[in-house]
Amino acid sequence: MNPKRFLKYYLTILSSGIILIYILFPLVNTIRTQFSKEYEVALDYIKDNSDLVQKIGQVKDFGNFPHTVIIKYSDGTKQTKIETKVIGEKSEIEVEIYMEQDWERKWDVKQIIIKDES
């Protein structure tokens, strides 16, 4: 094989891998998050949070790219952290919400952090 063709072939495969890692994986994670049970529970909790409503007004929408980290334990329980933008009538704000899933597969909100944009 010609060394120049080999280099071109190698760089094509390498760049495809980089694109896959940095674009496709986060996109798939975002799509998976938006259809998950824990995300649904988090959104309901955020909509009903009086501190948040007082700060930004009634919740109108959420950001398009939530970020989720899920930790699974050997006893069957899970913990998750969801970061998302919340769009209200008065302003927008970033929130982090920490949740746990018990053995009965019910998600319970443990903490919400409202990030001040000051």
**What is the H or E stretch that residue 97 is in?**
strand 92-101
Which residue range forms the structural domain that includes residue 16? 1-35
pLDDT in tens, 2-25: 788 888 888 999 998 888 888 877
pLDDT in tens, 70-97: 888 888 788 999 999 999 999 999 999 9
CA nearest to 101, candidates 34, 42, 43: 42
Do 10 and 24 reside in the same domain of the chain?
yes
Over residues 89-108, mean pLDDT: 91
Do 6 and 41 reside in the same domain of the chain?
no
Average pLDDT, the chain: 87
Supply the pLDDT for residue 19.
84
How many domains are contained in the chain?
A: 2
Do 43 and 24 reside in the same domain of the chain?
no
The reported pTM is 0.72
